[in-house]
């Protein structure tokens, strides 16, 4: 009994820090509609800066002032960083499609990971203890860290202050109004840009404070950001986007799950968090305390240019490109060919994600699930049945298709960020199954020996096989987009109500689109398994899903050819950089941020709008 | 009379769709202009363009001698242009008092300055509801709140987009009375309507839009005499 009380209290102490991070994320999203991927970086920076300041100040300022002053000053420093990020980067791209700022914040997160290593080194840092609170107090005869008691009080205190700020100041009222309808707030004379800067500053302050107060409890290291960002997203979604009390409730739930999950369900501890999120979203599609959002106002002027099938000239160019790629084995070495195979595979992966989010309007944060299911489908067949590659290449996509059909049935019942988070939850569930079901999947050790059949063992032949399959699949995706089914999918994306009024069954149409997209990702995954000769749980992990998002957004989500260009550029760059420089995350992140600012419509989008019209007025020069 | 708001050669696009074609109109200080036209004629786009809410716009918009085309919406609002949107767009999670607080701007010289107390006199219904969440009010009360919220910014010109749309006849009569009060206070109004019904008693001049083009401009007397114009551009 005593033990459970202590465990519950420990959970509450962790909840405070999680709440600080999640509340900032929630407020930022509510007002700016930016899914701020760099929020974990603010948390991590807060911890690092607090480490430096508390260490440096505890001498000259005295232990107490040095410690607490250091924590607050660290949060303030990072708040300034947050304001600069908003002013220098995000402000330039508010007119871009909705998810584009996400790409920019992702680039920032990559950069920050390398920057903290440059400044503070790769080692874990242990921060100072809170002066006067180093010891333990006795609760029910059990020792409990005194500092954790302070943390337990911190969460509700911040909740109360935030409530006062949002309800008792005009600035807070403006924030809540902008959460509902920011264009109307502007039409009433409120400077949106300043409001956004303020919200971003507040969010960064809260995240950094959440990181700073953790330093007496856990070591500071450069992977803190990814660890916290996922939990923060989950909390925001469980609580309801934009709801600060919801974030508090969800932070407590998540922290207690973390505290007890490992004790009660050790076999499924990793998946517990995402199971809970999936259940909450299926039962309450807008989170525990979130309200149904009013249909987002389509931003005027962002109407998409209608897509057109390839004209004769463009079709010829594509054929020539495929021909050139097919001729490459005559010149290129094995390494180049395997890199190209990988790029082709990711082009298919990106195209399948684009089918779901660009064509279907269903943003996925967990597309790796279907890529990974494809890879594991093939690998499991090899492991248990010693099946030949042809069967594996069939089984992988089928498994992915089945998985997408199952998960998609739930996902299409949600929309927007909630849908995206449910896809993430399912992907994480699959990931933890692969990670923890060692007897079948090999767990962390993966499945080895997934090699191509002898007839395709030569890298050149495998490359040609990959090229043929990817080209066929990409052609199929393209045909799908321009088929009556594709029109129906796009109609459901553009207006649910009008699509319903002309007799389209939205749920079925989107479900089918979701499932097919999963199947194409599965083919890419199966090919990837044979390319690498092995499968590890990493193919199901969040970074793979994010890579997919980056490729689609980088190429231009509002174009058909964009994902392919995005995949080529991103994959080639990341392979090249990781072999060239230690600081590849810094370079790649900087490159992404620069691209986002320079080409807020994606690479292909900018080509279509700026370059193509100059060349000719012909409308069929589209892609 | 000097022109308060001048619009010259206004064009607007949504994406590639060209919505407004060279719309030119002007309204004098204290005048009430009715902007008429069928559904889809471009009334909402015209008003939203003036307010700076449509990104792709060309042409001149001059308010009190100051060019405002291309300025961000909040700058335009601060120069004295008020906007009452078609679908009300109240902040439903906020209370009535908070909705008014969002609209608050400093007083402007030469323009009536509104306070919540003055507005509660003008809209007595709202006074009792000031701590009610706006989303829980009736459509008529929400429409009144939208106008009150805009008046909190002390505008000199107000754009009202179909303010009587979908309201009960009793509320429509109240709305007409509110327009009369605003006119009596010396405010300049542009009111859009599908056909001239409720605003008739206050309107000085009429403009008619059809398919994004200005088809008629004239005084009430001319408009009333021009049956062919009504048949061609307004009759359904």
SS3 B6: strand
Report the number of distinct structural domains present in chain B: 1
Q: What's the sign of the alpha-carbon dihedral B135, B141, B142, B145?
A: negative
| pLDDT score of A599 | 76
Residue that has been written with the tokens 């400093």 in this structure: B106
Asked if B22 and B11 count as a contact pair (C-beta separation under 8 A), the reply is yes
Could you list the mean pLDDT of each consecutive 10-residue stretch along chain A, which spans 623 residues? 88 95 92 89 97 90 89 98 94 77 89 94 91 87 92 96 95 92 93 93 97 94 88 91 92 92 76 86 88 53 64 87 91 90 95 93 93 96 91 96 96 87 89 90 91 89 95 94 94 88 93 97 97 94 89 82 88 84 84 82 66 45 34
Element (H, E) at B65: none
Tell me the pairing of strands B3-14 and B17-28: antiparallel
User: Given CB atoms, is B89 within the 8 Å cutoff of chain A?
Assistant: yes
What residue spans define the domains of chain A?
2-227, 326-548
**CATH no. for residue B9?**
3.40.50.300
Task: Select the residue from A187, A193, A301 to test the B interface by mutation, using most B Cβ atoms within 10 A.
Answer: A187
Interface contact B170, partner A, CB < 8 A: no
The distance of Cα A529 from the centroid of its chain, to the nearest Å, equals 23
Contact A557, A493 (CB under 8 A): no
Question: B225: domain range?
Answer: 3-233
- Interface pTM (ipTM) of the complex? 0.93
Q: What pLDDT, on the 0 to 100 scale, is given for residue A607?
A: 66
Distance of residue A189 Cα from the nearest chain B Cα, in angstroms:
4
Q: Which helix (H) or strand (E) holds B166?
A: none
Partner-chain contact A184 B14, CB within 8 Å: no
Compute φ and ψ for B21, nearest 5 degrees. -125, 105
% of chain B with per-residue pLDDT over 70: 99
Encode pLDDT of B170-225 as tens digits. 889 889 999 999 999 999 999 999 878 788 888 999 999 999 999 999 998 888 88
Strand order across the B17-28 sheet:
B17-28, B3-14, B56-63, B66-67
* Helices A192-212 and A170-180, packing angle to 10 deg: 100
Report residue A453: phi and psi, to 5°.
-60, 160
**Using 50, 70 and 90 to split pLDDT, how confident is the model at B85?**
very high
Residue A247, CA distances (Å) to A22, A78, A254, B35 in order: 6, 22, 10, 47
* Cβ-contact B49, B68 below 8 angstroms: no
Q: Angle A244-264/A146-168 helices, nearest 10 degrees?
A: 150
Both structure tokens of B20: 């407004």
CA distance A1 to A13: 19
Contact B55 A191 (CB under 8 A): no
- Chain A hits for B54, CB-CB cut-off 8 Å, are 300-301
Q: Which residues of A touch B55 (CB under 8 A)?
A: 95, 300-301
Q: Kindly give the residue spans of alpha helices, DSSP state H, lying in A169-243.
A: 170-180, 182-187, 192-212, 224-239
Of chain B, the end-to-end C-alpha distance in Å amounts to 35
Angle at which helices A562-580 and A542-555 pack, to 10 degrees? 120
């Amino acid at each position: 009994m005593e033990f459970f009380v202590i465990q519950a209290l420990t959970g509450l102490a962790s909840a405070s820090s999680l709440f600080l991070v999640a509340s900032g994320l929630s407020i930022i999203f509510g007002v700016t509609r930016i899914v701020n991927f760099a929020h974990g970086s603010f948390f991590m920076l807060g911890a690092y800066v607090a480490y430096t300041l508390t260490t440096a100040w505890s001498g000259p300022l005295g232990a107490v002032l040095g410690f607490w002053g250091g924590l607050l000053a660290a949060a303030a420093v990072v708040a300034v960083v947050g304001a600069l990020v908003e002013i220098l980067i995000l402000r330039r791209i508010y007119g871009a499609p909705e998810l584009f700022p996400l790409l920019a914040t992702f680039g920032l997160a990559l950069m920050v990971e390398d920057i903290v290593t440059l400044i503070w080194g790769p080692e874990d840092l242990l921060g100072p203890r809170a002066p006067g609170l180093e010891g333990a107090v006795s609760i029910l005869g059990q020792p409990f860290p005194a500092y954790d008691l302070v943390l337990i009080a911190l969460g509700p205190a911040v909740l109360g202050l935030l409530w006062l700020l949002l309800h008792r100041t005009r600035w807070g009222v403006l924030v809540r109004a902008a959460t509902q309808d920011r264009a109307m707030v502007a039409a009433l004379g409120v400077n949106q840009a300043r409001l956004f800067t303020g919200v971003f500053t507040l969010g960064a302050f809260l995240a950094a404070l959440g990181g700073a107060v953790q330093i007496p409890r856990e070591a500071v290291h450069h992977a803190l950001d990814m660890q916290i960002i996922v939990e923060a997203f989950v909390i925001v979604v469980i609580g309801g986007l934009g709801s600060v009390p919801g974030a508090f409730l969800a932070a407590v739930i998540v922290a207690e799950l973390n505290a007890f999950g490992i004790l009660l369900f050790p076999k499924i501890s990793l998946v517990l968090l995402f199971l809970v999120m999936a259940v909450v979203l299926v039962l309450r599609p807008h989170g525990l305390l979130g309200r149904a959002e009013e249909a987002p106002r389509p931003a005027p002027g962002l109407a998409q240019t209608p897509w057109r099938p390839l004209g004769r000239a463009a079709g010829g160019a594509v054929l020539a490109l495929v021909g050139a790629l097919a001729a490459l084995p005559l010149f290129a070495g094995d390494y180049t060919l395997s890199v190209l195979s990988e790029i082709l595979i990711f082009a298919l992966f990106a195209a399948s994600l684009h089918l779901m989010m660009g064509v279907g309007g269903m943003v996925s944060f967990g597309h790796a699930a279907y890529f990974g299911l494809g890879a594991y489908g093939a690998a499991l067949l090899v492991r248990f049945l010693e099946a030949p590659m042809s069967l594996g290449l069939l089984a992988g996509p089928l498994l992915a298709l089945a998985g997408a059909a199952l998960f998609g049935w739930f996902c299409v019942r949600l929309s927007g960020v909630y849908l995206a988070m449910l896809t993430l939850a399912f992907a994480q569930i699959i990931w933890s199954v692969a990670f923890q079901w060692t007897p079948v999947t090999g767990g962390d050790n993966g499945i080895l020996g997934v090699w191509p059949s002898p007839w395709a063992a030569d890298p050149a032949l495998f490359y040609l096989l990959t090229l043929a399959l990817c080209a066929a699949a990409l052609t199929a995706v393209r045909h799908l987009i321009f088929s009556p089914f594709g029109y129906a999918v796009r109609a459901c994306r553009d207006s649910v109500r009008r699509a319903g009024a002309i007799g389209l069954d939205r749920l079925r149409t989107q479900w089918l689109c979701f499932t097919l997209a999963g199947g194409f990702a599965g083919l890419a995954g199966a090919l990837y398994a044979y390319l690498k000769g092995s499968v590890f749980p990493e193919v199901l992990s969040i970074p793979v899903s994010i890579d997919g998002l980056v490729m689609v957004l980088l190429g231009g989500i509002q174009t058909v050819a964009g994902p392919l260009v995005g995949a080529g550029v991103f994959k080639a760059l990341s392979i090249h950089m990781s072999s060239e420089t230690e600081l590849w995350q810094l370079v790649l992140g900087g490159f992404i941020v620069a691209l986002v600012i320079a080409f807020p419509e994606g690479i292909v989008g900018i080509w279509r709008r700026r370059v193509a019209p100059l060349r000719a007025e012909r409308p069929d020069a589209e892609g | 009379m000097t022109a308060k708001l001048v619009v010259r050669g206004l064009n607007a696009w949504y994406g590639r769709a060209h919505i407004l074609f060279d719309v030119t109109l002007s309204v004098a200080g204290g005048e009430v202009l009715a902007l008429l036209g069928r559904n889809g004629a471009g009334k909402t786009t015209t008003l939203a363009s003036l307010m700076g809410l449509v990104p792709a716009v060309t042409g001149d918009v001059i308010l009190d001698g100051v060019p405002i085309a291309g300025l961000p919406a909040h700058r335009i609002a601060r120069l004295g242009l008020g906007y009452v949107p078609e679908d009300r767009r109240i902040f439903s999670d906020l209370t009535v008092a908070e909705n008014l607080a969002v609209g608050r701007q400093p007083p402007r010289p030469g323009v009536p300055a509104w306070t919540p107390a003055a507005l509660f006199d003008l809209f007595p219904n709202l006074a009792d509801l000031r701590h009610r969440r706006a989303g829980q009010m009736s459509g008529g009360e929400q429409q009144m709140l939208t106008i009150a919220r805009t008046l909190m910014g002390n505008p000199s010109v107000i754009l009202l987009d179909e303010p009587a749309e979908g309201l009960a006849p009793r509320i429509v009569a109240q709305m007409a009375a509110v327009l009369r009060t605003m006119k009596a206070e010396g405010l300049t109004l542009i009111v859009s309507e599908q056909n001239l019904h409720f605003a008739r008693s206050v309107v000085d001049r009429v403009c008619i839009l059809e398919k994004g083009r200005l088809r008629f401009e004239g005084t009430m007397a001319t408009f009333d005499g021009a049956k062919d114009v009504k048949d061609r551009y307004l009759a359904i």
